[in-house]
Structure 1
């Protein structure tokens, strides 16, 4: 299968390349640094800088994951424009390129996030629930999904992957948490009651491969464990895994002072569940947080 990835040099993209190379697929990654693609994604992966460089080769599937990290700095107006352009503008360019192609892929897996729902409070969020609040993260995801869905008019099957917090050994938000937690300075954010929809990287890759191959899969899918946890329980679990106390809270007012609007992303949450994935027959390898963290942070890594 010929697969084109945007965002292929990111955490999820690199893991997908590793999986699909081992399965014998042909991979091309769109990147601002195409010369670095082979070293990051695999020697057999071709890097291109523009969609037009793909040429007339057959194309079976597109995985659209491109996007600047949403939580690495406060949301100034300039940063919001960067976040918007890296997702919505690039997806618009993708659809416009597809409109000019003679041969079209069968499927487009397009990135999204559980932030689509906004701060869901205590409400259980299946894929049928509309957005609960209208914050910037929700607006961003709604526009991202709507843009990708334009490809349906071309006869392409569009799957929207609403990813939760990805747990990985080498990267992602867990890597940022480890330094303070290892020092015994970790703890809940705010009151710690907010829900955290998490997913082990291994399950994230498996479910995306599953959705790629399921010919009847289309529309949104929550990509998160069937057992979301509250932030305070996540902190306790990570502390137990590292053998450190996790009782140092980060007060909400301090987070708001330091991060501004971005703090809402950390202090709010989503009790999202993968209703459609489970109905389709997908089985998660990791549904218990302690087990997932124990797998990623084995004694030699702690």
Structure 2
């Protein structure tokens, strides 16, 4: 396949692109920073600096849209909320326009979203049919998904990646937590009872390949079948790193530091990959501690 990827230098893209190359696919990565992309990928990867110089996507068989400003890197000021939204919405809208501008559009658009689509649902077991809470993360993801679905036609199917916390080396959530835990400063956050829907980056990549190669469409929870509570996660990470994990971060302190974005760590989703498993996809990483061992070793 000839595949276009946005957000290819991000956490998921850095693992996905090499796998696609190994499988013999031709990959083009859309990037704002050509030097960073060239340093990340080998010469087999074609690079586009943005989408404005291209009219349509007829040369591609598939598009994987992973672009978006990192959601947890800064406090959610009104300006930052706009950046989070527009970095996702504008790129996706441009892709949809390019799908419709050609005569032979790609067969599939696989477009990013997140389990934040559901908001904080506490103890509720969440599958793809669960009605969401109307929080900022839902508004962001719902509009993102709505725009992506505009590419759907009799020639193109659309898959939506409602992704949980991706466990991967050198980045993501673990990039922030591992140094704290190594220093003996790790532990549960707030009550510790909130659920964390997680997925090993290898399963994430394999699930994207599954959607690429099978006639599937609609939303998919990209999460392990076994979500855990925050306190279970802290205990497992401390055990893997041979460090104590009892430095609980009070919810009040987290809200003071993070503001509205504290919902990302004080809330959660007990999300399950119902539609992925029903389609026949098999996970490699079910056990959290085994997954953490593999990632941090």
- The TM-score normalised by the length of structure 2 is 0.97
With 189-198 and 29-38 compared, the bigger mean Cα shift is at: 29-38
Q: Give the aligned partner of residue 116 of structure 1.
A: 117
2:68 aligned with 1:67: yes
Q: Give the aligned partner of residue 44 of structure 2.
A: 44
2:200 aligned with 1:200: yes
Q: Give the aligned partner of residue 296 of structure 1.
A: 295
Unaligned runs of 5+ in 1: none
Q: Give the aligned partner of residue 218 of structure 1.
A: 217
2:55–2:98 Cα contact (<8 Å) kept: no
Structure 1 moving runs of 4+ over 6 Å: none
How far 1:295 moved relative to its partner? 1.2
- C-alpha distance in 1 between matches for 2:277 and 2:24: 27
1:38–1:44 Cα contact (<8 Å) kept: no
Q: How many residues align?
A: 296
How far 1:46 moved relative to its partner? 1.2
Q: For 1:284, what is the secondary structure of its paired residue? A: coil
How far 1:101 moved relative to its partner? 1.5
- C-alpha distance in 1 between matches for 2:159 and 2:25: 20
- C-alpha distance in 2 between matches for 1:268 and 1:195: 7
Q: Equivalences for 1:1-302 in 2 at 5 Å?
A: 1-54=1-54, 58-131=59-132, 133-153=133-153, 155-215=155-215, 217-298=216-297
How far 1:11 moved relative to its partner? 1.0
1:68–1:83 Cα contact (<8 Å) kept: yes
With 90-99 and 263-272 compared, the bigger mean Cα shift is at: 90-99
- C-alpha distance in 1 between matches for 2:172 and 2:42: 20
CA RMSD of aligned residues (A): 1.3
- The TM-score normalised by the length of structure 1 is 0.95
Q: For 2:112, what is the secondary structure of its paired residue? A: strand
Q: For 2:68, what is the secondary structure of its paired residue? A: coil
- C-alpha distance in 1 between matches for 2:182 and 2:33: 34
